[in-house]
Chains A and B, each alone.
Chain A
Amino acid sequence: MYLTKEEEKTLNGENGPVLERMFRLLVRLGDIYGADKMIPVGSVQVAGVSYKSVGDPGTEFLEDMASKDAKVKVLTYLNPAGMDLENWKELGFPKDFAKNQLRIMDAFKKMGIVVTSTCTPYLAGNLPRFREHIAWSESSAVSFSNSVIGARTNREGGPSALAAALCGVTPNYGLHLWEKRQPTIHVKVDAELDFNSDFGALGYYIGKQVKNKIPYFSGIKYANTDQLKALGAAMAASGAVALYHVEDLTPEADLVEKKGLEKISVGKKEIKETYNKLNTGKKPDIVIFGCPHASLREISALANKLDGKKLKKPVWICTSRMVKEAAERMGYNEIITKAGGSIVADTCMVVSPIEKMGYKTTGVNSGKAANYLPGFCKQEVCFANIDDLVEAQL
């Protein structure tokens, strides 16, 4: 790989041990994947933020970097933390967990990272442009920025994204290259998709089928950004899909080569079977929306459904701090809280310790959450649309 003189210096440790170690990781990845050079990144999004996911080894790793005065070179956002960073006590998050989580946040802040924790940075002030090179790691945000925005990023691991933030560059390979963004399988959809959960079910099914391929969808007549967010998130969780194209809906769909692709079909039957498969529980103890983090439109929809109602069991909707602020101004927070629900910011059900908070069965409308909750939170899952889930808690 070609390195500039300055990059050679960094690799030789002339810019300090932290940059040397992090740049070495990028060079190694570049060598493995055949990168010709490093390219500057416009922004970074770092995963591996919750204490639950990084544990003590990760926490010590981050504190070590921060103590050596590591500083990021570009706009860098964080993935969700393991708790609401302001209301953790009221929501019942364990104290020892909170202590460790706050240590992690301090380390990130010291490095100059914006400590807004969200899996939807593009809804909270970190919005790349079409064809901009970025290094993001949250799998659903990678999928969204590649597919819906047309920015270019590989699926970075938490540490490789951090390395890109500190060095300001990423190796030029994979999805940074136009020829690697071409679809590798054609998915024909023949089903009415109404609820966001329908898109989650479709994504879960296709992710399982195509694993790490690049799907080109036809037959999806309409989808708003919330629904594309749900589709991409589920495919990235059940498979490793980092980029997809949708005929007439996503920016690169008209530009890519579609000839001669392997074809698969998905219809009502497969979607219905996926709903059945994801339903492992009977009645939810708690219902959690906002995986990935809810948009203002999704919060407003929930507020409409809860207006004047009284919940028997808890309902959370997870979102970024920025969107929660807007929801408060619009009075949605008050409506949801009055009904007995909560808008939870900075975190989500997958990375928070809900299994230690007394919950055994969680209701979700997200294919991604349904994929992770059984393994990581030891939850039984009720996978359904928003109407049925709200109904179950009244």
Chain B
Amino acid sequence: MKGRIISPGKAQGEAIVTTEPIGFYGGIDAKTGIVIEKGHPLEGKKVTNKILVFPCGKGSTVGSYVIYGLKKNNVAPAGIINKETETIVATGVILAGIPCIDQIDIDRIKDGDKITLDAEKGEVKID
């Protein structure tokens, strides 16, 4: 699948997929990489070293710092795939240097799929 490059780089890993938007601030713990938003389909799951797949960001604009913090604390996802990346997530991944692509039909990706993300070429492969 071809998409738009948000933040360049390459990553491989297991997909962790949700159809719900993610608000990083108050949604994911920057120290542990665990989803903490109550009632979120991914609540209690760890995003570290995964390819995190979600439709779009939501909520607080402080989310960019949470993404940057995840990276600095070595608990960040290896890559991010969105349907539509908004500025909060875009700023976070650019600053943190996490490969990210959007405009991808994320319904085709299933939880646990092995993903190769090439955000130099804007390509997503399901192995």
Contacts and interface: CB of A to CB of B under 8 A. Distances in A.
Interface stretch (A25-33, A250-258, A259-267, A327-335): A25-33
A56 B68 CA distance: 11
Contacts of A371: 59
Contacts of A138: 61
Contacts of B66: 53
B65 A53 contact: yes
B79 to A, nearest CB: 16
A47 B60 contact: yes
A162 B36 CA distance: 27
B87 A154 contact: yes
Given A25-B94, A240-B59, A57 B86 contact: no
A238 B20 CA distance: 11
Contacts of A61: 68
A1 B100 CA distance: 21
A40 interface: no
Interface SS of A by simple majority: helix
Contacts of B6: 32
B88 interface: yes
Interface in B54-106: 56-66, 68-69, 71-73, 84-88, 90-92, 94-95
A159 B95 CA distance: 8
Interface in B24-50: 25-27, 30-31, 36-38
B21 interface: yes
A160 B91 contact: yes
B31 to A, nearest CB: 8
Interface string B1-38: 00011100000000000000101011100110000111
Of the listed residues A48, A56, A142, the one surrounded by the most CB atoms of chain B closer than 10 A to its CB is A48
A157 B92 contact: yes
Nearest to A237: B59
A51 B39 CA distance: 26
A376 interface: yes
A372 B26 contact: yes
B64 A48 contact: yes
Contact of A240 (B36, B58, B68, B73): B58
A155 B26 contact: no
A239 interface: yes
Contact of A160 (B21, B57, B64, B71): B64
A155 B87 contact: yes
Contact of B68 (A58, A154, A237, A372): A58
A57 B92 contact: no
A53 B38 contact: no
Contacts of A55: 30-31, 65, 69, 73
A29 B58 contact: no
Interface string A47-82: 110100111111001000000000000000001000
A55 B11 CA distance: 26
B124 to A, nearest CB: 17
B21 A47 contact: no
A120 to B, nearest CB: 15
Contacts of A375: 26-27, 36-38
B29 to A, nearest CB: 9
Contacts of B71: 57
A194 B6 CA distance: 44
B91 to A, nearest CB: 3
A347 interface: no
B36 A155 contact: no
Interface string A71-102: 00000000100000000000000000000000
Contacts of A154: 87
A360 interface: no
A61 B95 CA distance: 10
Given A32-B5, A240-B57, 15 more contacts: A29-B91, A47-B62, A48-B61, A56-B72, A138-B61, A156-B61, A157-B61, A157-B91, A158-B62, A158-B64, A159-B95, A174-B87, A237-B60, A280-B38, A371-B59
12 contacts: A25-B94, A29-B94, A53-B62, A57-B73, A58-B65, A158-B91, A159-B64, A160-B91, A174-B87, A211-B56, A240-B56, A240-B58
Interface of B: 4-6, 21, 23, 25-27, 30-31, 36-38, 56-66, 68-69, 71-73, 84-88, 90-92, 94-95
Interface pairs A-B: 6 shortest CB-CB: A157-B64, A157-B91, A57-B72, A376-B26, A375-B26, A137-B61
